[in-house]
Amino acid sequence: MAVVGVGSMGLTHAENLARRVRGARLVAVTTSDPERADEARRAAGEPDLAVYPDLDALLAGEDLDAICISSSTSAHAGNVVTCARAGLHIFCEKPLALTLEDCDRAIAAVESAGVKLMVGHMRRFDAGHVQAKRYIEEGAIGRPLVFRAISGDVNPPPPSFADPNVSGGLILDAMYHDLYLSRWLLDDEPVRAFVEGDALVDPAVGAVGDVDNAVAILRFSRGGLGSFYVTRTTRYGHDLRVEVIGDQGAVHVGRFRQTPVRLLDPSGVHHDMPWTTPDRMGEAFVAEMQAFIDCLLEGSEPPVDGRDARATVAAGLAATRAMREGRPVNL
């Protein structure tokens, strides 16, 4: 395998493929930045790891079975099409694309080439969310009624990334995982969305047309409700929490400590916090990539395919439109 793009997610995937995932061998990455190339080699523990400037050079220089696409979001669909035509199985970071048309183009290319596509929804592989899904399926909370989520990053991204033309904007980029989890945990599809959002903290984010805080309400096809708060400004740490309330109980997923230790002193009680997504979801990233490799080795279907990813993009686009237009939007 090779990794296309070694930003924060690409570095995480490269390190996991090189060190932690069974059945795969990392042979190359792509980046045009010499410092990123050095970071990738250090993360993988491979001082001679091949580095190519772009995807075309990689495909010309390596004999690959599969690829991990961690490029900028706006390039995902085009890279999926290129890799599918090259006959490679594909793991693609979320979201699959910024439009439904590009989702369809990527899915069609994969199906035409007869290769497998899995989209990165790592929180589905987090132990807490897996157990929550099990409780719900077992009927432990009765009939699920309400999904509630908080997703908070410590600091806003640079405006170059916040630009909706690059990342899709706060909702499609940062609320995406909660939109997926709501569909997965409730086993239902959203049918209507209403959202309020604004650049409440970082004017630079607002200047490129994005927001740094948003609240969404979604209605689901069987009557369930969803409440979502997504923010780039949780200065106290990386805050990820999910709750599903049923007619017989509730299940909560989340934690406020990175390590299981607390300090008690005269000024109060103190503990650390996860600060990044890899801090909080480290093992989930490994389990996610292992699931992709296993489906290739076993000939099974990926647990999160292109059509599943497309449905989440549709929810994110509807929510973004609702915020922009100031009205409820039907999916």
Q: DSSP secondary structure string, 172-208? A: HHHSHHHHHHHHHHHT--EEEEEEEEE-SS-HHHHHT
3-state secondary structure at position 158: coil
Judge if 135 and 117 occupy the same domain.
no
Judge if 280 and 160 occupy the same domain.
yes
Judge if 183 and 246 occupy the same domain.
yes
Judge if 105 and 149 occupy the same domain.
no
Q: Which domain holds residue 116?
A: 2-121
298 domain residue, yes or no:
no
Judge if 189 and 263 occupy the same domain.
yes
Judge if 163 and 28 occupy the same domain.
no
Q: Looking at 121, 152, 170, which one is the last position of a domain? A: 121
Average pLDDT value over all residues in the chain:
95
264 domain residue, yes or no:
yes
CATH code of the domain in which 13 resides: 3.40.50.720
157 domain residue, yes or no:
yes
CA–CA distance, 298 with 314 (Å, rounded to integer): 31
85 domain residue, yes or no:
yes
237 domain residue, yes or no:
yes
Question: Using CB atoms within 10 A of its CB, is residue 236 exposed (0-12), middle (13-18) or buried (19+)?
Answer: exposed
CATH code of the domain in which 216 resides: 3.30.360.10
Q: Looking at 100, 121, 142, which one is the last position of a domain? A: 121
170 domain residue, yes or no:
yes
Confidence (pTM): 0.92
pLDDT at 259 exceeding the cut of 90:
no
pLDDT-derived band at 115, boundaries 50, 70, 90: very high
Judge if 56 and 169 occupy the same domain.
no
pLDDT tens-digit profile of 57-76? 999 999 999 999 999 999 99
Beta-bridge mates of residue 213: 198, 231
243 domain residue, yes or no:
yes
Per DSSP bridges, beta strands 190-198 and 213-220 are antiparallel
Judge if 225 and 163 occupy the same domain.
yes
Only one residue has tokens 């090259």, namely 86
Number of structural domains, the chain?
A: 2
pLDDT-derived band at 278, boundaries 50, 70, 90: confident
Contact 273, 236 (CB under 8 A): yes
Amino acid 276: pLDDT: 81
Q: Looking at 121, 150, 175, which one is the last position of a domain? A: 121
Judge if 167 and 285 occupy the same domain.
yes
Amino acid 237: pLDDT: 85
181 domain residue, yes or no:
yes
Judge if 163 and 241 occupy the same domain.
yes
In terms of Cα–Cα distance, which of 320, 87, 64 is closest to 211?
Answer: 320
pLDDT at 258 exceeding the cut of 80:
no
pLDDT-derived band at 274, boundaries 50, 70, 90: confident
CA–CA distance, 259 with 285 (Å, rounded to integer): 18
Q: For the residues 186-206, what does the mean pLDDT come to?
A: 96
Judge if 186 and 76 occupy the same domain.
no
Judge if 173 and 57 occupy the same domain.
no
pLDDT-derived band at 279, boundaries 50, 70, 90: confident
